[in-house]
């Protein structure tokens, strides 16, 4: 593409979106505005805090827009005034009405953290770990009116290991998303038209928003399911449960496929390597945890204060 640079409006809010904003800036495109959610209260003081994307935009000297909605004529007029060739949307958090999708010359692209059509919706990263998926990825998608229904332009894949947490997979997919977006922008600016591949009609699953209530550990369930729950909810909302006579948050644990030797929820062993808890199927060995009002500690540190548990077999 020759002449004037591609005019891009970027829309995103959380930390996940920041590498994609940087990829837009590094591509040679002109990021003419950044749209992000209004500032929200955060921290103990509940002070209004800018989103990570807003902070990155301010640092780069890019105009920032924070409408509560894009449904009004005024909001559309503001967007149209930036004369975008393309709008790039990454975990923005607001629905784009049809009239907004039609505004940019090249439409709107979305970077989504799953292999579509599996895990459309709000929490694809955690849902993939919870379900025991062995693979995830990011799709660069041409947006249409449905929720994550548009055709896929580019895809990046990555395996999910038993060491992956919601946090580690988030960071990897964030980088992969920026990589896919950078390639898409490079190819379009070189004059290429990206082939849009329609999503299969089979295999659609929705990744519903996370609820803190889901973080509660039920030791009647198989240990492997609890291990996935703990990994998926690290770093938020963090799994929690009752064992060893306390209410504890669990940051890391490993499932062992053995025959339970006691009632579910019973501590059946405790050493510096971990606290073993009987489950409905198998044993869960907790290696990192947190007491009420305390900080994250290893099982070894926890047992220094709970020598009574060392007698558990």
Report mean pLDDT in 10-residue bins for the chain, 313 residues.
Answer: 83 98 98 97 89 98 97 97 98 96 97 98 97 98 96 98 98 98 97 96 96 96 98 98 96 94 94 95 98 95 88 53
At 263, list the tokens. Answer: 């009632």
DSSP secondary structure letter of residue 213: G
Say what the pLDDT of residue 133 is: 98
Give dist(CA 261, CA 73) in Å, integer: 65
Q: Which residue from 158, 162, 117 is spatially nearest to 136, judged by alpha carbons?
A: 158
Residues 256, 292, 124, 76: what is their CA dihedral angle, to the nearest 10 degrees? 180
Is the Cβ–Cβ distance between 251 and 299 less than 8 Å? Answer: no
At 58, list the tokens. Answer: 């301010």
Distances 256 to 210, 237, 249, 262, 276 between C-alpha atoms, Å: 27, 24, 20, 14, 9
Say what the pLDDT of residue 304 is: 92
Q: Which residue from 216, 218, 217, 224 is spatially nearest to 282, judged by alpha carbons?
A: 224
Provide the annotated binding site for (6S)-5,6,7,8-tetrahydrofolate: 114-117
Give dist(CA 77, CA 225) in Å, integer: 49
At 309, list the tokens. Answer: 């548990």
pLDDT tens digits, 122-136:
999 999 999 999 999
Give dist(CA 231, CA 229) in Å, integer: 6
Pick the CATH number of 7-207 from 3.40.50.170, 3.90.110.10, 1.10.3720.10, 3.20.20.140: 3.40.50.170
Buried b vs exposed e over 232-250: b needs ≥16 C-beta within 10 Å? bbbeebbbbbebbeeebbb
| pLDDT > 90 fraction of the chain, expressed in percent and rounded | 93
- 75, HSE (Cβ side, Cα atoms, 13 Å): 16
Say what the pLDDT of residue 1 is: 43
Say what the pLDDT of residue 259 is: 87
Torsional class of 43: left (φ above 0), alpha (ψ -120 to 50), beta (otherwise): left
Task: Give every CB contact of residue 95 below 8 A, 6+ residues apart in sequence.
Answer: 70
Across the chain, the runs of DSSP E, i.e. the strands, are 7-12, 30-35, 40-42, 47-49, 64-65, 86-90, 108-112, 118-121, 135-142, 152-159, 205-207, 239-243, 246-256, 267-271, 274-278, 283-291, 296-298
Please name the residue that has the structure tokens 């890019």: 62
Provide the annotated binding site: 114-117
DSSP string across 165-190:
-HHHHHHHHHHHHHHHHHHHHHHHHT
CATH class of 212-311: alpha beta
- Provide the mean pLDDT of the chain: 95
Domain boundaries, the chain: 7-207, 212-311
At 223, list the tokens. Answer: 């240990």
Say what the pLDDT of residue 312 is: 53
């Amino acid at each position: 593409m020759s002449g004037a640079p591609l005019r891009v409006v970027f829309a995103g809010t959380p930390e996940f979106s920041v590498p994609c904003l940087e990829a837009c800036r590094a591509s040679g495109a002109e990021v003419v505005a950044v749209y992000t959610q209004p500032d929200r209260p955060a921290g103990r003081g509940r002070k209004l805090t800018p989103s990570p994307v807003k902070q990155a935009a301010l640092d780069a000297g890019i105009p920032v827009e924070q409408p509560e909605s894009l449904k009004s004529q005024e909001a559309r007029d503001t967007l149209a005034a930036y004369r975008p060739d393309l709008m790039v949307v990454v975990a923005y958090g607001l629905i784009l009405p049809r009239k907004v999708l039609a505004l940019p010359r090249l439409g709107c692209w979305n970077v989504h953290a799953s292999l579509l059509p599996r895990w459309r919706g709000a929490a694809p990263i955690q849902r993939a770990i919870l379900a025991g998926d062995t693979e995830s990825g990011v799709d660069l998608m041409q947006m249409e009116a449905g929720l994550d229904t548009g055709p896929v332009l580019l895809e990046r894949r990555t395996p999910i290991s038993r060491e992956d947490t919601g946090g580690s997979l988030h960071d990897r997919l964030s980088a992969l998303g920026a990589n896919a977006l950078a390639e898409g922008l490079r190819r379009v600016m070189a004059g290429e038209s990206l082939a849009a591949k329609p999503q299969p009609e089979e295999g659609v699953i929705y990744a519903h928003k996370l609820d803190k209530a889901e973080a509660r550990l039920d030791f009647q369930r198989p240990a492997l399911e609890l291990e996935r729950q703990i990994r998926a909810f690290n770093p938020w909302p963090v799994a929690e449960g009752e064992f060893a006579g306390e209410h504890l948050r669990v940051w890391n644990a490993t499932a062992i496929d053995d025959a339970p030797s006691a009632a579910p929820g019973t501590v059946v062993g405790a050493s510096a390597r971990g606290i073993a808890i009987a489950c409905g199927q198998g044993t869960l060995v907790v290696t990192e945890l947190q007491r009420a009002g305390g900080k994250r500690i290893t099982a070894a540190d926890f047992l220094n204060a709970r020598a009574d548990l060392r007698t558990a077999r």
